[in-house]
Structure 1
Amino acid sequence: MFSSRGAVLFLFLCLCWSSSKIVVAADDDSITDPIEVSALRSIKKSLVDDYSKLSNWNRGDPCTSNWTGVLCFNTTMDDGYLHLRELQLLNLNLSGNLSPEIGRLSYLTILDFMWNKISGSIPKEIGNIKSLELLLLNGNELTGSLPEELGYLPKLDRIQIDQNYISGSLPKSFANLNKTRHFHMNNNSISGQIPPELSRLPSLVHMLLDNNNLTGYLPPELSELPKLLILQLDNNNFEGTTIPASYSNMSKLLKLSLRNCSLQGPMPDLSRIPNLGYLDLSSNQLNGSIPPGRLSLNITTIKLSNNKLTGTIPSNFSGLPRLQRLFIANNSLSGSIPSSIWQSRTLNATETFILDFQNNNLTNISGSFNIPPNVTVRLRGNPFCLNTNAEQFCGSHSDDDNEIDRSTNSTLDCRAQSCPTDYEYSPTSPIRCFCAAPLLVGYRLKSPGLSYFPAYKNLFEEYMTSGLKLNLYQLDIDSFRWEKGPRLKMYLKLFPVYDNSSGNSYVFNASEVGRIRSMFTGWNIPDSDIFGPYELINFTLQGPYRDVFPPSRNSGISKAALAGIILGAIAGAVTISAIVSLLIVRAHMKNYHAISRRRHSSKTSIKIDGVRSFTYGEMALATNNFNSSTQIGQGGYGKVYKGILPDGTVVAVKRAQEGSLQGEKEFLTEIQFLSRLHHRNLVSLVGYCDEEGEQMLVYEFMSNGTLRDQLSGIFSVIRHSGICFFLH
């Protein structure tokens, strides 16, 4: 008879033999192209994956084992292999470099590394992927110049490399990108002249090159771009350059933004652009008078401040029905101000109209002094305010014209019910107080054609739900905030439809999650004239969606491979296979429970007086998506970030790293314990967040240095439960 140790060894050898039969069968009729499998392993090797987001890249086949971010075609090609269609690795906290082996993914249509911390240069080998349609590298730490080889991608629709440290000049080869519609290269260090050859691009609609180091002159040839909708070149240095008169002929243009570009000469007459909605020529050295032609009736924003403009304010600024902001401060304008500019406007409760004429030589107001509700007129620094005490014109005003564009959080009085963890009441549903699990989407308008969002909130909801093919009530704008750019960042919640056959809780099925996600990640939501281009910041799958990844393809296993696997499995003895299966199940369940204890958020809700429960979206918004610039500390438990809540409260957010996550009971016990601690030398607990596999504690913020700086030599420090007690 076998000893117990011998039996285990025998079973192990049988398992190895049976597994080898399966592997051999699969290798005889491989599934994913071995070249691409090798390339993926090289890509992983060059990356730093601190949070083990790509840990499953060591198991099975990329196309049939659901490797993170790997999406394949549904069927094999003529070569008998499956091939990668998309590599979606956005927002995974990856660092390291991009391997040149990426160029061997020759069937790829989407390459997405957005919102990581990847450094190094962009591999020129990406130019070998002739099928590539979306190149998405924005929000990293990439350096070096743009490879010439990228200009020979015949199917490229979108190139996003913004928010990196790219330097060097724009390659002239980019003039070959005949199908490219989107150039998003803002917020880098790109230098040199804009190549006039880019005027040959037949499909370009968005050119975003703001916040770079571009010099030289503005190419008049850009006016020849037949489909250009947005030209945004703010914060470059075209010193001594005038705005080409030909720009007045850009008949498709919706937005022209040339702020702080050292431009000189006269302001062009842009009245011939029929749909112009946003104009920003501020902080230049433009001189002469403002052209008298009436701008488009679609115009929402006119910014001409901080120039050397002279003459009078034209009366044609009157009668512009959608105008939200008219800024002409810090010029040398003189004469009277036509009150018809604001008297002609009838605003509803969701609209505001701000006119900033400060620091000019304006002496009078022609017409009525009455200001309609929601209208602000700023005239400080003009002779008019020396001769009158009109507080409504000459009083102090906030410089932040978006100060009330904070949040649209809605509340429901549904206290008689309570939702399970990760579910919440759908605030816009026609059925009150039913619990549903939302999808959480971080979303940003990169170059909107408006300055005040609440007036367009309903229109945005219609646009978004129509593009996603959802009902209007399925969308809730959880919060929004203007950022530097200006750009509009928001957090969206998408709720499943009400279905009374499903009980009291509602979720999207897996195929619908995949469909919605692919609408965002594939940029399949149609562009909007007023809202402009968008970018996906994150697509959060929590609660019932935690283990869902878009089922974008079938297994793709060929019949021969499937037959080989089956035969290999049968080759093992039936009894041994049953015993081995039992061992595997036990091991899997043990591992599953360990992972569940570590990663799953709390299933128990608690209510503590004075302690708030925050959502992950609220914490991400408060800390600018946990940007490194907001980090104020780090310890063995994780990192601490400075955050600002929507009501202006400054807090410190302690975010536990994965290895420091506590069990559900321990974490809730700690919160209850901390909530009872009150001492003048202790920072108070404000709230907590326990969702999306995250554990965060939110404290009041202590300014003027660290606690150690303030208390060194006075208190002794005792470490306990993630906080410090300070004793005299």
Structure 2
Amino acid sequence: MIELRSLWLRVVWTLSLLLVAADCQSTYPAEVTALQVIGESFIDWDNSLSNWNRGDPCASNWTGVLCFNMTLDDSYLHVRELQLLNLNLSGTLSPSLGQLSYMRILDVMWNQITGSIPKEIGKLTNLRLLLLNGNQLTGSLPEEIGYLPNLERIQIDENYISGEIPKSFANLNMTQHFLMNNNSLSGQIPPELSRLPSLVHLLLDNNNLSGYLPPQLSELLSLRILQLDNNHFDGTIPPSYGNMLQLLKLSLRNCTLQGPIPDLSRIPNLAYIDLSNNKLNGSIPYMNLSDGITTIDLSRNQLTGTIPPSFSGLPNLQRLSLFNNSLNGSVPSGIWQNRTFNSTEQLTLDMQNNNISGISGSLNLPANVILRFANLCSQYISCYSCVYHHQDLLHLYLNIFSLQGNPACLNTSASMLIYCQSPIALVNHLQSIPSNSTDKCPPQSCPPPNFEYAPGSPTRCFCAAPLLIGYRLKSPGFSEFPTYFYSFEVYLTSGLKIKHFQLDLTYEWQKGPRLRMLLKIFPVYTGNGSNIFNRSEVFRIRSLFTQWAIPDSDIFGPYELLNFTLLDPYKDFIPTSASSSSGISKGSVAGIVIGAIVAAVLLSALVSLYILRLLRKKYHAVPNRRHVSRASLKIEGVKSFGYEELKRATNNFDAGCEVGQGGYGKVYKGIFSNGTVVAIKRAEEGSLQGEKEFLTEIELLSRLHHRNLVSLLGFCDEEGEQMLVYEFMYNGTLRDNLSVTEKHKEALTFAMRIRIALGSAKGILYLHSEANPPIFHRDIKATNILLDSQLIAKVADFGLSRLAPVADMEGVVPGHVSTVVKGTPGYLDPEYLLTHKLTNKSDVYSLGVVFLELLTGMHPITHGKNIVREVNNAYRSGMIFSLIDAKMGSYPSKCVEKFVTLALKCCQEDTDERPSVAEVVWELETIWHIMPESDSRTNDSMNIESGKNVSSAQSSSSTTKNPYGPCEADISGSDLVSGVVPIITSR
């Protein structure tokens, strides 16, 4: 049947090409071949590229392929853009990309592409935008990219790129944006980069760069942002950096820099300075800073002397952080006096742990000034006790005055006591507020799906379907967004050429700091009954984002597109190629189509008869062999492995290849002849996993594709065997990693555990809300959460899963599925156990138990004691920290408390009291964002050596055996993926 399908596709392909040739211009043949090879190099989990085997690429509008007519002598269409943003693609980038010689935009952002960047991209002399960020690319940067004469933007951030920055990149005279942060780049920043005449943004933060900071970078006459945080430089900050006259933002946080702070007075538009967490010494120089300065962060250094008076009178200052230094003297009141604060402005003065003796001048402060002088890591306390003690605090914004830990607090006068209370951290870095669009309209029910009641004009609200766009400012020039909220709306709507009332946005601060937004863009009310955008307007708006056609803004910095989501009613809208029309009449085209269909039907019938005869002969030739099973008849897109192939891969199921065992049978590590490493779950006769569970897991996993779900590669159902073939998970189960005893394994830190919890929750969220139809897992537990070589969590074992209920005849969706109770003791939802009603909150309960395991290291049931009850009792008695897993090492107590609280919410007996999985994901991301930088980033950037951290266990409900057997001998270094643990993001 596979041969029949392949032959039939070739027939359709040939006929489609004949049709296209008769109807319109066609794509240049060499580019057609290149696209075919490129498509084969991808693994298309969601079938997003399913139309890449039909018709001509340009004329048939292949997904993401945009073309144009170059009006050349060849009269062909040529590929102008390859737009494959956020399509859940894996696989590799094919060297055949180099054959798309007219391509201007290569965009594969936010996928799961692995392998290296092919050097053949250096042949794309027309390329303007190289957008590869948000993948899993490894290897070094090809020096050939440095010879692309028209490249304007190179964006490779959030990958695992290593090696040095090629000196050839100094030839990129047109490049304005170097965005290479969050990789593993090493070595010296090439001084030759100072020759780049157009460079505006240089973001190399969160790498492993070393050596000295090149003084020559001051020769970059157009540079606006220099962001090099979290690297390992030697020496000092070059004084010449004070000559970067166009600079808006200088961020050198945590770079092991020493020496004095250079004078930055000559930079007229400087808005953001972050030199924190270094070893800078000496006094802070007197600097006549720009009136536009918003942020000065010199904290965690070795600075002495007094706070310079030049920090006074800065009208747009939002944050002055000088904590953890050795500064003395008093705080000049001129910093906040004579300023007029509107309702959106806030000033934070953070001077804890210095030698501050007091405040010079008046103690009366403006309403929205926050003074924080003490330890921000201490416990949050109620704010209201402060408010009623001092009349200056009864204002629009709450103000905290704390000099705790400074000599000023030795003064016991009544006027100073109020400033020496315990500190309260009020700065919220996870703001999420709506703009002034949808809140103008009263709540009203709109028809599902995806319609909202929103303004279609300044005076009218109506039900409309918005476009949903994930958007992020990569390096904004401010610390507090509310002051710039309206300006941003004006900037974006002007760039998109839409009305102000059409935009609605929410936002949150993320690590970096970066500002992530969800944009909703609504159509304008026309009065003709239309409440959606037409196709051309969707394409126009999308193109403005994907082509980076929205003008840059200095204060908002570079932006990135995270996703452009087309839900119903836009789901079938795809970018169309620009192609010229042909001169063939409609009647001629109709004749061609009818003739082609008749020919295709006849040819298909003949081919089918021929293939069936071949299959019948094959059937009689091998009478004792089981043939294609019920599973393979029902499931398409899943590879059917032969018994002999899996037998060879496991050395005849040698005991040395066994990595786990459960009630269904054993799990083996297999290595195919091409070096691919897999896990093979082999059911034994009489196992607990029956035919139904076997088929269920195949059917579900064949259509479930997510970063946090284990991938099913195929199955075997012959020779009386039932085997499932998965991607191999080098670090085994979560339970294995919580029960660390072997010397070759390392205990999980708190940051790792939060990352695992978040990954697991995102996998379940996908099952509950994005799978179609949704799925209840029904057996979430620590042995069904697997960890790959980078400790990314993947939920496994779908043998007990059930489809969520669907709407009945009246459109009502039941809240549960009535089913026989199945699962694992200790993880079972008490209500499900009693009522047999399975809901999405049943999975939430099980996930909460896993969270408690992550916190305590305990098993769900130990010597008759239930983990939920034990943690609840300790929590109520204030002894929760006595149960925290000692192997975790140090941890931020506040974050642990929040995690415990979330876990216990998940384990509430009343299902209505439990959060949804979406709420769980949000809470975990909040915990991740508030973690101290030293905890979160240190563990994020930790290199994991596969040889030292491999647990080879690949089973659910498994007992781990010695992984070092005959299967280990054939593994090459390329099979063990070693790299950097990625920062968890929301993508």
Coarse TM-score class (shorter-chain normalised): 0.7 to 0.9
Shift of 1:162: 0.4
Deviates more, 1:667-676 or 1:253-262: 667-676
In the other structure, the counterpart of 2:451 is: 423
- 1:28-43 map, 5 Å: 31-43=26-38
Shift of 1:30: 6.6
Shift of 1:81: 1.2
In the other structure, the counterpart of 1:705 is: 853
In the other structure, the counterpart of 2:272 is: 278
- 1:622-641 map, 5 Å: 631=708
Shift of 1:378: 1.7
What SS does the corresponding residue of 1:426 show, helix, strand or coil?
Answer: strand
What SS does the corresponding residue of 2:357 show, helix, strand or coil?
Answer: strand
- 1:345-364 map, 5 Å: 345-364=339-358
Counterparts of 2:838 and 2:204, CA distance in 1 = 41
Shift of 1:163: 0.5
Counterparts of 2:302 and 2:338, CA distance in 1 = 28
In the other structure, the counterpart of 2:432 is: 406
Task: Give deviations 1:448-476, integer Å, cap 9, x for gaps.
Answer: 00111111111110000001001000100
Q: 2:118 aligns with which of 116, 123, 133?
A: 123
Q: Does the 8 Å CA contact 2:188/2:210 hold for their aligned counterparts? A: yes
Deviates more, 1:111-120 or 1:673-682: 673-682
Structure 1 pair 317–32 and aligned structure 2 pair: CA distance change class (3 A): same
Q: 1:665 aligns with which of 807, 817, 831?
A: 807
Q: Does the 8 Å CA contact 1:146/1:168 hold for their aligned counterparts? A: yes
Counterparts of 2:431 and 2:601, CA distance in 1 = 63
What is the letter of the counterpart of residue 860 of structure 2?
Q
Q: Which runs of 4+ in 1 moved over 6 A?
A: 16-22, 560-564, 576-580, 632-636, 640-644, 649-652, 674-679, 683-689, 696-700, 712-715, 723-726
Q: Is 1:393 the counterpart of 2:426 in the alignment?
A: no
Structure 1 pair 397–115 and aligned structure 2 pair: CA distance change class (3 A): farther
Q: Is 1:343 the counterpart of 2:337 in the alignment?
A: yes
Shift of 1:701: 4.3
Q: Is 1:499 the counterpart of 2:526 in the alignment?
A: yes
What SS does the corresponding residue of 1:506 show, helix, strand or coil?
Answer: coil
Give 1 or 2: higher helix fraction: 2
What SS does the corresponding residue of 1:433 show, helix, strand or coil?
Answer: strand
In the other structure, the counterpart of 1:488 is: 515
Shift of 1:344: 2.8
Structure 1 pair 242–572 and aligned structure 2 pair: CA distance change class (3 A): closer
Counterparts of 1:37 and 1:650, CA distance in 2 = 37
In the other structure, the counterpart of 1:608 is: none
Q: Is 1:370 the counterpart of 2:364 in the alignment?
A: yes
Shift of 1:553: 1.8
Shift of 1:328: 0.5
What SS does the corresponding residue of 2:60 show, helix, strand or coil?
Answer: coil
Counterparts of 1:166 and 1:679, CA distance in 2 = 44
Counterparts of 1:441 and 1:225, CA distance in 2 = 34
Q: Is 1:655 the counterpart of 2:767 in the alignment?
A: yes
What is the letter of the counterpart of residue 294 of structure 1?
N
Structure 1 pair 289–675 and aligned structure 2 pair: CA distance change class (3 A): farther
Shift of 1:22: 7.0
What SS does the corresponding residue of 1:122 show, helix, strand or coil?
Answer: coil
Structure 1 pair 419–687 and aligned structure 2 pair: CA distance change class (3 A): farther
In the other structure, the counterpart of 2:63 is: 68
In the other structure, the counterpart of 1:328 is: 322
What is the letter of the counterpart of residue 70 of structure 1?
V
Structure 1 pair 116–100 and aligned structure 2 pair: CA distance change class (3 A): same
Q: Does the 8 Å CA contact 1:303/1:328 hold for their aligned counterparts? A: yes
Counterparts of 2:107 and 2:174, CA distance in 1 = 19
Structure 1 pair 579–331 and aligned structure 2 pair: CA distance change class (3 A): closer
Counterparts of 1:578 and 1:196, CA distance in 2 = 63
In the other structure, the counterpart of 2:478 is: 450
Deviates more, 1:536-545 or 1:391-400: 391-400
Q: Does the 8 Å CA contact 1:405/1:453 hold for their aligned counterparts? A: no
Unaligned runs of 5+ in 2: 1-9, 374-403, 606-704, 713-723, 725-733, 735-752, 775-802, 822-827, 866-905, 910-987
Structure 1 pair 363–428 and aligned structure 2 pair: CA distance change class (3 A): farther
Q: 1:383 aligns with which of 393, 407, 421?
A: 407
Q: Does the 8 Å CA contact 2:429/2:509 hold for their aligned counterparts? A: no
Shift of 1:517: 0.1
Q: Does the 8 Å CA contact 2:510/2:516 hold for their aligned counterparts? A: yes
In the other structure, the counterpart of 1:104 is: 99
Counterparts of 2:146 and 2:762, CA distance in 1 = 46
Q: Does the 8 Å CA contact 1:143/1:164 hold for their aligned counterparts? A: yes
What SS does the corresponding residue of 1:151 show, helix, strand or coil?
Answer: helix
What is the letter of the counterpart of residue 422 of structure 1?
N
Q: Does the 8 Å CA contact 1:686/1:700 hold for their aligned counterparts? A: no
In the other structure, the counterpart of 1:13 is: none
In the other structure, the counterpart of 2:496 is: 468
Q: Does the 8 Å CA contact 2:845/2:907 hold for their aligned counterparts? A: no
Q: Is 1:200 the counterpart of 2:195 in the alignment?
A: yes
Structure 1 pair 37–331 and aligned structure 2 pair: CA distance change class (3 A): same
Q: Does the 8 Å CA contact 2:61/2:577 hold for their aligned counterparts? A: no
Task: Give deviations 1:258-313, integer Å, cap 9, x for gaps.
Answer: 01111111101111100001000001111111111221100000000011111100
Q: Does the 8 Å CA contact 2:105/2:128 hold for their aligned counterparts? A: yes
Task: Give deviations 1:144-180, integer Å, cap 9, x for gaps.
Answer: 1100100000000000000011111110100110000
Shift of 1:405: 2.0
What SS does the corresponding residue of 2:461 show, helix, strand or coil?
Answer: coil
Structure 1 pair 579–153 and aligned structure 2 pair: CA distance change class (3 A): closer
Task: Give deviations 1:572-598, integer Å, cap 9, x for gaps.
Answer: 79xx79999xx9xxxxxxxxxxxxxxx
Structure 1 pair 26–422 and aligned structure 2 pair: CA distance change class (3 A): closer
Counterparts of 1:674 and 1:271, CA distance in 2 = 68
What SS does the corresponding residue of 2:75 show, helix, strand or coil?
Answer: coil
Task: Give deviations 1:682-708, integer Å, cap 9, x for gaps.
Answer: 59999989xxxxxx9999845313999
Structure 1 pair 343–79 and aligned structure 2 pair: CA distance change class (3 A): same
Task: Give deviations 1:467-486, integer Å, cap 9, x for gaps.
Answer: 10010001001x21111100
Deviates more, 1:77-86 or 1:342-351: 342-351
- 1:68-217 map, 5 Å: 68-74=63-69, 77-217=72-212
TM-score, normalised relative to structure 2: 0.59
Counterparts of 1:674 and 1:319, CA distance in 2 = 65
Q: Does the 8 Å CA contact 2:346/2:480 hold for their aligned counterparts? A: yes
In the other structure, the counterpart of 2:248 is: 254
What is the letter of the counterpart of residue 120 of structure 2?
E
Shift of 1:133: 0.2
Shift of 1:436: 1.0
Q: Does the 8 Å CA contact 1:653/1:699 hold for their aligned counterparts? A: no
Q: Does the 8 Å CA contact 1:377/1:392 hold for their aligned counterparts? A: no
Structure 1 pair 76–565 and aligned structure 2 pair: CA distance change class (3 A): farther
Task: Give deviations 1:305-354, integer Å, cap 9, x for gaps.
Answer: 01111110011111111110100001111111111212232211211110
Counterparts of 1:23 and 1:448, CA distance in 2 = 49
Q: 2:300 aligns with which of 293, 296, 306?
A: 306
What is the letter of the counterpart of residue 349 of structure 2?
L
Shift of 1:396: 3.5
Shift of 1:408: 2.3
In the other structure, the counterpart of 2:288 is: 294
In the other structure, the counterpart of 1:612 is: none
Shift of 1:434: 1.1
Counterparts of 1:55 and 1:17, CA distance in 2 = 16
